[in-house]
Structures are given as structure tokens and as C-alpha cells.
Structure 1
Amino acid sequence: MLEIDPERTAESVMEFVRSYTENAGVKSVVIGLSGGLDSAVVTKLAALSLGKENVHALFMPELSTPLEDFEHVRLISSTFGVEYETIDISPLIHSIRKVYPHKMDEITLGNIKSRLRMLLWYGYSNLKSSLVCGCSNKTELLIGYFTKYGDGGSDFMPIGDLYKTQVYQLARYLEIPEPILNKAPSAGLWKGQTDEQELGISYEKLDKILYGLERKMPVNKIAALADVTEKEVLRIKEMRKVSQHKRNMPLIPKAGLRTIGLDWRSPVQGE
């Protein structure tokens, strides 16, 4: 059902990375390296596509970043031969909390952390004349489990059409180190946070629900497929609906012949 041919998928993604960067007139990419599975997979694919010397990885920890992430970033770097730079964003977070007039909850502060990282990715991409390569997967994108203009802010997303369980399949093919394969997925925005705990559902079940919604299956059949209640299917369906704005460019009222984001969606390739 959700099985992929990892070799063909890897080749397809790598060709996409090569052609997209070439058509954009750049030779390299900037990647936010977190120590997690998605950024490890994207880093490996980018290195295979463009050469490891053309992958500029940035690790941006702060006070709540687990020590495990530091270890896993070093492991990714040494395994793939990709160099990285570390920028501690704690002082930036402190400055924002100091000037912000309202008390921030964990989610608000977590989104600010994500957006700070995006600012630094793009500053670095200007310095290196590179594109910013995003690490979001299809599961996250469909339910809005990302920060708008944060980790969702990038020039392209190589694994954006792969569900999380498919990213795991691809990761095993790419020989991502076992410690990274086995760690609990986490956005790392506050201490102890894990994706599945926050979402209230496992990726295995979530992907089956989204797979069913993608194919416009009846709710009762999706519930049976994912071994969940119909109420849970409707909850995920609603998450997809209310997060639609996060997946689109800001809406533009149509006034001309072809409108950006509506009927003028050609990429950088020649028309």
C-alpha cells in the first residue's frame, strides 16, 4: 500500500535536485541539519546529487536541544562526509523574549525558534549563492505539522511527496545510521517533545489515513484500513482542511490573464 521502490525513488529525487538547482543557476544548497531522520535523508540525497562539497549544512541548537541531537549531527557529518556549521540561536531567542510584550506558550516560542532558523538559512544561502533545501515530508505538509515561514520556508522540498513511513524506507536504502533510524521523531522545539505524542497518533496509522484521503476513500473504509475510529479519520481530515493556508502562497485575487499560484505555476524551467 505505502511501499515504494527506494532505488527508483532516490534516483527520481536526485534528478529533481540536480535539474532544479541547475535551472535556478546555482550549484549548491543550504540544509538545516537537526540530527533527525528527515534532514539526514535530505542531506544524503543532496550530497549524492550535487557532491558533498556543495551541501552547506547548518545545525542551530538552543537551550532545549537534546544532547542526542548534537551526537547525531556529528554522526551524519562523519558518515556522509558533509561539513556543517553550528550556530547557537539561544541569544536570539532570549532577545525576542525580552522585547516581546506578551507571555509566550511553548507552541508560540517553538514557532519563533523555527522562524529564526529560517532567517539564518536564507542569510547563509545569500552568502553561498545557494538554494535552501527543505526537509518536510508529505505527512507533515498535509496536516500542517510545520511552521509557516519556519521549517516550511524553503526553495524546494525533495521528500515533500513522501509519507513519513516512506521516508523510513528510503532511509534504510540510503543506509542512514541506525541511531537516527531508531530515535523518536521530534521537531525539537521544546524539551521532551515527540511528534507522535503531540499528534496523538502513530505515523503508521496517520499515513494510512492520509493515503485513504488522498484516494478519496469513504471514511469507514479508511478507518478500517488504519485500524482507527471514524472520528479519528475526521479529526485528521479537519487538520488537513484548516492547514490549507500553510501549503499555499498567499491568495491573490485574479485580475490578469495568468495569476501566480493559480494558473501560472510553472517552475524555473524554460517555458
Structure 2
Amino acid sequence: MEETIDEIVQWLQERVHEAGVNGLLVGLSGGLDSAVVAHLIQRAFPENSLGVMMPLNTKPQDMEHADKVIKSSGINGMTIDLTETHQIMYSTISDQLKQKNAFKEENDQLAGANLRARLRMSTLYTISAHYHYLVVGTDNASEWYTGYFTKYGDGGVDILPLVEFTKQEVREMGQYLGVPDDILSKKPSADLWEGQTDEDEMGTTYDKIDAYLKGEEIPEQDKEIIDKMHQSTAHKREPLKKFHRS
């Protein structure tokens, strides 16, 4: 594990030097993946790493967990509350859609949730411009394969250090790095709406996705869910399509 972590830390340092920037930052949700990234980037740049907490109608426990990560990793911290910003922006957009008879109630929750993720992305890049840091993503192999991230939201980052590792491998990495136990054991959630959990939304579990990626046998129902997610989210993993003149 130490060799793996050292390899990731060296890779992070190389990316920063290659880009000619000063350091790295990550959005801290209070969840496992961002906690592991916080510990990794602090190892890579002890004085030039930043964890940004961006509450948006967020449960107090999640902010407590994010604060624990600041302390356990030793990373610098910052908090930007986006609750009011999201409320104003989404209500303004919704009002205009309603005037055009284009507002769809069935799309309301997801549209609002994706705006949350994209506001957080915009916040991180605004901060990174001042610090001259790269924005580090938290997607693991399971999330990347299934497309379980918001395009131009939490998927809008500069580098992805965990994308080759399954959720279980990230958890093991977190144990080694000293991520607090209550974060290691909590249910994964993207904090998109109240009570939301990743596995409930996906309809399968990370354990089954991890097993599938390793080539192990899983129930056919779960395999179908995973395959469908992978196919329907291909556009998130592919380069932007461009028109080419003939």
C-alpha cells in the first residue's frame, strides 16, 4: 500500500510541475473518496494543498466529517456556503422555464441536483485561479465506469488520481492513510438531495460494481444495471465531439 500511495503522490507532483502551477485543491464532501484525495494531495504538497467545503443544504454530520478530514490530513481548509447561491439561481431559471411552459416537474430534482454539482465545480475553479492550483477529482473506477458523476460538475476536474481504483481499494487506502473510521464506514452519498445515497440511486452496490470490474460473477440483474449505466453515460468519458470540415 505504501508503494501505491508513493506512486500516486509522485504522479500528483509530476502533474503540478508539468502544468507549472503551485499546488492542488479538492472539494471536501465528508465522504470517503474526497477524504482519501485530501490525504494524498497533502502528502504531495504539504504547504500547497487545499480542501474546500461547499455546504448546500448539507447535513451537519457531513460538514463535521469534512472538518475531521481537514484535521486528520493536515490540509489547509476553506468553507464556501452555496445554499443561497443555488436557491437564487435555480429559482430564477425555474421561473423563466415556467413562463415558457417548459418546466417539467419530473426533471426538477435531478436538474437542481446537477446545478449543485456544477456550482461546486465553478467554485473550485474560481478558487484555483487565485491559488494557481489544479482541481483534483475524486471519481474512483466504479464511478467512472458507470458514469456516476455529473458532467461538468464533479466530473469537471483537471486530474483523477483514484480512477484506477475500485471503491474497496479506495477504502483500504483510506484505512492506511488514517481517514477517520466514521467516514470509512458511512454510506456513500453525492449530497445531491436530502436522504440521497449513491447505491439507492444506482440500483446496485459498489461491492457488485467492484466485483464486475474484476471479472467476477454477479447477479444478472446487477450486471444489466451496470451495463446500462456504462452505455448510457459513454458521452461523459469520451472527448467532446467536434465537427470537422471536409
TM-score (structure 2 length as normaliser): 0.91
Report matched runs for 1:87-166 at 5 Å.
87-100=80-93, 101=97, 102=103, 103=105, 104-166=107-169
Displacement of 1:255 in angstroms is: 6.5
Q: Which residue of 2 aligns with 1:240?
A: 230
Query: Which runs of 5 or more structure 2 residues have no equivalent in the other structure?
Result: 98-102
Could you tell me which amino acid in structure 1 is paired with residue 88 of structure 2? S
Answering whether residue 29 of structure 2 is matched by residue 34 of structure 1, we say yes
Q: Distance in 2 between matches of 1:170 and 1:20?
A: 21
Displacement of 1:136 in angstroms is: 1.0
Q: Percent identity?
A: 36
Could you tell me which amino acid in structure 2 is paired with residue 79 of structure 1? S
Could you tell me which amino acid in structure 1 is paired with residue 175 of structure 2? R
Q: Which residue of 2 aligns with 1:72?
A: 65
Q: Which residue of 2 aligns with 1:58?
A: 52
Could you tell me which amino acid in structure 2 is paired with residue 116 of structure 1? L
Query: Which runs of 5 or more structure 1 residues have no equivalent in the other structure?
Result: 1-5, 213-221, 257-271
Question: Which is further off, 88-97 or 120-129?
Answer: 88-97
Displacement of 1:164 in angstroms is: 0.9
Could you tell me which amino acid in structure 2 is paired with residue 88 of structure 1? D
TM-score (structure 1 length as normaliser): 0.83
Contact 2:9 2:44 in 1 (8 A): yes
Report matched runs for 1:117-266 at 5 Å.
117-212=120-215, 222=216, 225-226=217-218, 228-229=219-220, 231-253=221-243
Could you tell me which amino acid in structure 2 is paired with residue 108 of structure 1? A
Question: How many residues are treated as equivalent by the alignment?
Answer: 236
Contact 2:139 2:163 in 1 (8 A): yes
4+ long deviations beyond 4 Å: 253-256
SS of alignment partner, residue 214 of structure 2: helix
